Structures are given as structure tokens and as C-alpha cells.
Amino acid sequence: MFPRPLTPLAAPNGAEPLGRALRRAPLGRARAGLGGPPLLLPSMLMFAVIVASSGLLLMIERGILAEMKPLPLHPPNREDAVWRGTVPRPGRLSLDAGDSDLQVRQDVRNRTLRAVCGQPGMPRDPWDLPVGQRRTLLRHILVNDRYRFLYCYVPKVACSNWKRVLKVLAGVLDNVDVRLKMDHRSDLVFLADLRPDEIRYRLQHYFKFLFVRDPLERLLSAYRNKFGEIREYQQRYGAEIVRRYRAGAGPSPAGDDVTFPEFLRYLVDEDPERMNEHWMPVYHLCQPCAVHYDFVGSYERLEADANQVLEWVRAPPHVRFPARQAWYRPASPESLHYHLCSAPRALLQDVLPKYILDFSLFAYPLPNVTREACHK
């Protein structure tokens, strides 16, 4: 059924408890959006979100949620669609009634998103956002006009394969199995490429979706890929991280041996709104309050969710989501557990607030790195 919420991080002796640290951790400053009311910050909502999502998880665990009528992914009428900004369309995809895990996960996400995004002062569309946040958002939403959908891509959540699918649907590639180095910009249309009136029309009328992943598993995947394989990232980011956080590193480190704790220290000092897209929180990449997504898919059930989306948008039957390559070894829960248990817990306490909305909004439990769990 649904994953059992794990025990939160325990604070070291004399340290501030994690819950208190999360509630008071600053994630940015309040800003007004183009004449609108001041935007509520993630830090202002953090405690409410944690309480709301934890309560839902507890309800699930006790079997209470199963007795409640779930919110539909696509509201059945215009009145119910107000908070989502979505008008129902014929032929919409419904969930398999027998897939209770997906039903519960989507229900938790929908309810939590509604609770948080319905707060006064929260952005209701991209023009409520500060210019920098809006620019980031529009640069991450891909457009397909033929099949009328918008996809917010999140690096390290199968976005390269989704871009292959979009290129096949656009007629640029013959099929998703064509072997070539992925160009992440050419032959793709982004919302940022369009005029404001064109953007508004598509946001109102197109099917909108994104895919998410356990926040820390996504960070580990980015760390392994970018600092273990990509020379450009080793030189641009790795060398600076080593210079900054490793004693006696020297003036010109190679940057190809960044440790995971060093990477976490770097993230602690970074402004989430200015992070590289591969480790920027999903909340800042896709702005799920400003854009009312019809579907939030999971990396954990990638193939099933992706094919569900393709069916919903009525993609041709021969267009399928690419199968995972046999050689690919994603960051596993076991590997993540090892890396987290090897990192100082105080460091994790400082990193988690930057991703707390990704945990809460998308129903991922906080990591269990208590001494007992790490010694198992």
C-alpha cells in the first residue's frame, strides 16, 4: 500500500530538534508579484504543510482515507475545476480503480496541493511570480501543440526520455530508440519562447503534467552523474566545491572527487532559486501553485504513469515511453541510505529545509537516519 512515514531525523545531543529547525529555517524573502499581494514563502507554510501531509499519511496508515471519496485527478465539472484552473475534456484518462496505491498517492498530492496553494497570497498563475521565478518556470515547461499538452521537465526524473517522446510526437525522431546524443534545446518548444497571450491560452486549455522523485534520491542521482561522469560539471562546480569545503585543497583542484557531504555543504550555502536545475527543488522549477497541473507522475512507477499520460493525450499507439536501458543503474534506496547515514546528521538538518516542500507536496517521507536505522 502506501509507504509508511519514516521516523524523522533525530537531533544530536544538545542540538535543536529537526522539526523546530525546519519550522524556523529561512527559504527566502517575501516578495510581491507584479502588483499582487505579498507571496507566502515556503518557510511560512512549512509547518502547516508538514502537519497536513503527515496527517494524511497517518489517515492512510489507519485506513481512514480508504473510506473517503477521493478527489478526481480531473474535476468533473467547471465549478469543481476552479482551484485547478482545468476545464474537463472528453476522453480524459481515468485511473484504474484497482490501483489503490496510485489512487492514494494522487489523492494525498491533490489534497496537499489544494491546502497549500489555496492559502491567501499564494501565486495563482505565473504572472503572480517575481520575474526570476517566472523565467525559470517558463524555461522548464515544454509545449506540444499537436497533442495539446504542457510538460514541466525536472532534471534527474527521466526528462531526457520525455524529451525523446516529444521529438517523436513532433516528427523530428522516427522512434524513441534512435541512438543519438540528446540535444536538450533543439527541436523543442518552451513556454518561454511564446508571447504572453499564447502562454495564457495554453496554460488554460492544455493538459499539464510533471514527474517527481524522492528529493534526496534525486540529489544523489545528480551527484553521481554530474561529479562522477561529466567533466564540465567537475570543472565548473566540483573544483569550486573542493576549494570551498576541503582543507588544504590547493588553488586548482580537479573537481572529480567531490564527496557527498561536500556536495551537501554546497547545497546548504546555495539559494534554492539560483541553484543549477539538476538540484534545484521541484517547487522552484515547476511552481505547482502557479501552474495547476492535471497529473503528477512518479519516478517510482515511471513506465505505468508515463504510458497513462500518453494514453490521455491520445498519442499514436506506436509512441511509447522508452524502456530503461539494461546498463543503467539508478540511485537505489539502499545506496541513498548508505550515503545519508555516512553524512553528518547536523548537515542533513541544514539541507532538508530547502527541499521540505518537495517532500510534503508530493508525499515523500523524510529519511530515517536515526542511529538505530543506520546500524541495521
What distances in angstroms separate CA 164 from CA 141, 143, 177, 221, one per listed residue?
15, 13, 9, 20
Question: What is the full DSSP assignment across 245-278?
Answer: HSTT--SS---S---HHHHHHHHHHS-GGGS-TT
Kindly report, residue by residue over 318-336, the tens digit of the pLDDT: 898 988 765 667 788 889 9
Can you give the pLDDT at residue 248? Answer: 85
Can you give the pLDDT at residue 227? Answer: 94
Nearest to 10 by CA among 375, 266, 294, 328: 375
Can you give the pLDDT at residue 295? Answer: 93
DSSP H or E run through 283? helix 282-286
Q: Rounded distance, CA 100 to CA 167, Å?
A: 33
pTM assigned to the model:
0.76
Can you give the pLDDT at residue 325? Answer: 67
Helices (H), 67-171: 100-117, 131-138, 159-169
Can you give the pLDDT at residue 252? Answer: 85
233 or 73, higher pLDDT: 233
Nearest to 141 by CA among 209, 90, 84, 49: 209
Kindly report, residue by residue over 263-320, the tens digit of the pLDDT: 999 999 999 999 999 999 999 999 999 999 999 999 999 999 999 999 999 999 989 8
Are 156 and 225 within 8 A, CB to CB? yes
Q: Nearest 5°: phi and psi at 15?
A: -90, 160
Residue whose cell numbers read 527559504? 27
Question: What is the full DSSP assignment across 15-80?
Answer: SPPHHHHHHH-------B-TTSPBPPPHHHHHHHHHHHHHHHHHHHHTT-GGGSPPPPSS-SSTTT
150 or 42, higher pLDDT: 150
% the chain with pLDDT above 90: 51
Can you give the pLDDT at residue 183? Answer: 66
Can you give the pLDDT at residue 311? Answer: 93
Kindly report, residue by residue over 187-228, the tens digit of the pLDDT: 899 999 999 999 999 999 999 999 999 999 999 999 999 999
82-85: long-range contacts, CB 8 A cutoff, minimum separation 24: 83/114, 83/117, 83/118, 83/292, 84/292, 84/294, 85/124, 85/125, 85/203, 85/204, 85/292
Q: Rounded distance, CA 55 to CA 134, Å?
A: 32
The vertex-45 CA angle with 152 and 30, nearest 5°, equals 80
DSSP H or E run through 298? strand 295-298
Sheet strand arrangement including 295-298? 141-144, 149-152, 207-212, 295-298
Can you give the pLDDT at residue 95? Answer: 55
* 361 pLDDT higher than 80: yes
What distances in angstroms separate CA 296 from CA 14, 121, 293, 363, one per listed residue?
40, 23, 7, 11
* 3-state DSSP assignment of residue 143: strand
Can you give the pLDDT at residue 61? Answer: 36
Kindly report, residue by residue over 221-274, the tens digit of the pLDDT: 999 999 998 999 999 999 999 999 998 888 889 899 999 999 999 999 999 999
Q: Rounded distance, CA 300 to CA 211, Å?
A: 10
User: How far is residue 15 CA from its own chain's centroid?
Assistant: 30
Q: Rounded distance, CA 120 to CA 20, Å?
A: 24
The whole-chain average pLDDT of the chain stands at: 78
Are 350 and 15 within 8 A, CB to CB? no
* Per-residue pLDDT band at 117 (split at 50, 70, 90): confident
